[in-house]
Every structure is written in structure tokens, then in C-alpha cells.
Amino acid sequence: MDAGIKDRVGSGRKVTVELPDALLRKAQESTGTGVTATIRRGLELVAASHAYEELRRLRGKVRFSTEWQKLRADRPIAARR
């Protein structure tokens, strides 16, 4: 077992980290959740930012075979709002 890291079957990893009190407090106030949920949300945002960056790199490089106006015209009016 590595110091500070314990594996639990089916539930991920338990990790011990040192965080500045002010940063953790500010993050918890922002999320309105506890420590674990706040840390998890932060990690999700880091992972998502990588995915968004990859998508941004594709901007202008992907060609679609249909126009968005045609796709939108195919939807009922109520769904367009």
C-alpha cells in the first residue's frame, strides 16, 4: 500500500491531501457540499476542461453533411424554444 492511498473494492481510491483552508472553504461555499463532493467536482472539472480543449482544437476542421437550419426545421416548434 502506498502512503496516503488505500484501494477500496468498487468505490475508487481514498487519497490524503493537504489543502489550504481558505481554498477548501471557498470551494465548499461555491459547491454547497461537503469535502468529498467538492473535491470530486473539482476533479470532474479538470477532466472536462481537457475534453473541451480537444473539442476546441477541432473547431473549423469538422464538416457536417447537413446544415443546422435543416436539422432545426425538422423539430417541432415547441422544441425550438
pLDDT at residue 26, rounded to an integer: 97
Number of domains in the chain: 1
Record the cell numbers describing residue 68, joined without a space.
Answer: 443546422
Residue-range definition of the domain harbouring residue 29: 5-80
- Report CA dihedral (57, 63, 66, 72) to the nearest 10 degrees: 20
- What is 29-68 written as a DSSP string? HHHTS-HHHHHHHHHHHHHHHHHHHHHHHTTTT---SS-H
pLDDT above 60 for 9: no
29-75, pLDDT tens digit by residue? Answer: 999 999 999 999 999 999 999 888 888 888 888 777 777 777 778 77
pLDDT given at position 66: 73
Instruction: Specify the pTM.
Output: 0.56
Query: pLDDT value at position 22?
Result: 97
* Angle, helices 21-31/35-57, rounded to nearest 10 degrees: 80
Amino acid 56 reads: R
pLDDT at residue 80, as a whole number: 52
